[in-house]
């Protein structure tokens, strides 16, 4: 018999669910390159938030929330958000838990400004897998 010290996988999933309850409202908030966002970002801020036709300040409610284990990693995923018929320029996005004090749960950097002009601004979230999920506990 062997004993291996570990943070059990079920405990990882339980921690994810406790920190990001599936019944809460999460929003995708777009930001311009003027925003300052990092791992130190704690709550929603309007500073540097994107604006434009088809975009509402405070972001768009995310749907399709799933939480699961992928191997040894607890992951959380959402349906890809989009803003149809919009004119928006954004450099990044946060995922904000509006039910829990507007706490930021993820910060994404698009790597460059992305623009829609009278079209759909769409964000393709990373694949819901251990190495790529937008929110994960390893």
Q: Which residues contact 119 (CB under 8 A, 6 or more apart)?
A: 84, 85, 86
Q: Which residue is listed with tokens 């349906």? A: 79
Mean pLDDT of 56-71: 97
Mean pLDDT of the chain: 97
Length of the chain: 138
pTM for this prediction: 0.94
Q: Report the share of the chain in percent with pLDDT over 90.
A: 99
Under a CB-based contact definition with an 8 Å cutoff, are residues 62 and 77 in contact? no
Distances (CA, A) of 29 to 32, 69, 128, 138: 10, 26, 20, 25
Mean pLDDT of 96-114: 97
- The pLDDT-based confidence of 1 (bands split at 50, 70, 90) is confident
Q: Which residues contact 81 (CB under 8 A, 6 or more apart)?
A: 28, 60, 62, 122, 123, 125
């Amino acid at each position: 018999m062997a004993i291996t010290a570990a943070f059990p996988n079920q405990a990882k999933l339980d921690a994810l669910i406790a920190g990001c309850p599936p019944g809460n409202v999460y929003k995708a908030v777009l930001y311009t390159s003027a925003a300052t966002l990092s791992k130190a970002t704690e709550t929603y801020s309007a500073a540097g938030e994107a604006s434009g036709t088809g975009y509402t300040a405070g972001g768009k409610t995310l749907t399709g929330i799933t939480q699961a284990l992928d191997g040894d990693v607890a992951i959380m995923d959402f349906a890809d958000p989009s803003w149809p018929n919009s004119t928006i320029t954004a450099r990044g996005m946060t995922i904000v838990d509006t039910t829990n004090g507007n706490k930021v749960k993820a910060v994404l950097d698009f790597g460059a400004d992305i623009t829609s002009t009278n079209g759909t601004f769409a964000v393709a979230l990373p694949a819901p897998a251990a190495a790529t999920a937008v929110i994960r506990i390893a």
